[in-house]
Amino acid sequence: MTAKRRIILDYLQITTGTVVTAVGINGFYVPNRISDGGVSGLGIILFYLVHIPVWATLLVVNLPLLWLSHKLWGGRVGSRTVYGTVMLSVAVALLTIHPLTHNTLLASVYGGLLSGVGLGLVFRSRGTTGGTDVAARFLSHLLPVSMGQGMMLIDFFIIAGFGFVFNPTIAMFSLIALFISSRAIDVVQEGVSYARAFTIVSQHADEIAQRVLANMDRGVTRIGGTGEYTGEQRTILYVVVTRSEVTTLKELVYEVDPEAFVVVGTVHEVVGEGFRKPPLEE
């Protein structure tokens, strides 16, 4: 994929993400006085207190945060952030949606889902929509937390203030929306847990590796190791398979070596031969 085409697809994805997020805000959050934190939460509070449109708050409050984004990540990411912020404000202003439900729980669930999916699409395109997105991106560079976890930490305190202004019950529903939104962001960015990684320690590593290659057509990585207790050299095999292949690989390993030591881990995203192509080739 050419660089020009990649840039065009990034901006199309940012546009799609902001529209999806706007549907969550206008269709679920605003009519039910729910917030998943961030500048949109502040916008909803001001909308009910002093009748300032949500889109106006989004645009005005985000201006200094856009400057921060430009200083931290340079013009390339900054341009995506400017575009994402403006597009979210425009989408919220233009999308006139009849309230999709007045059930507070349903609004929390579906509003959080749409908001998270939309923001996840924006993040995958290396952009943000301003607000706590910028702060969360900065936090993820400083601490071992994902983008979704960083937003959840920051927005928790914002929602606490939201509950103080309105009522604790609404704040609790907002926490539900925040949790769902954060998980949706992580899933969109990291992928659904569709693969499993096997770490296999066995005295019959050669035979296991050959059978995996021949019977399952999966790659095997051989890693050298030493048993700390025995001091003996061990061969460690690393194999990534789909969820549907987990049982097949287990049976294969234990048919060869019933004493094998096997660790199975969850993999969120796999890029490479046998799975999905690298982003630049898609």
Contacts of 225 (CB under 8 A, 6+ apart): 201, 233, 234, 235, 236
Topology of domain 195-281, CATH? Alpha-Beta Plaits (3.30.70)
Q: Map tokens 């693969």 to a residue.
A: 195
Give the per-residue pLDDT at 109.
95
Give the per-residue pLDDT at 65.
72
Give the per-residue pLDDT at 161.
76
Every domain of the chain and the residues it spans? 3-190, 195-281
Mean pLDDT by 10 residues, the chain (282 residues): 81 94 94 86 89 91 74 65 89 90 94 93 82 70 74 77 84 90 83 80 91 89 81 87 86 92 84 61 48
Sheet of 233-242: strand order equals 221-226, 233-242, 195-202, 261-267
Give the per-residue pLDDT at 110.
95
Cβ atoms within 10 Å of 244's Cβ, excluding its own: 9
pTM of the model: 0.73
Angle at 113 between CA 268 and CA 52, to 5 degrees: 135
Give the per-residue pLDDT at 262.
92
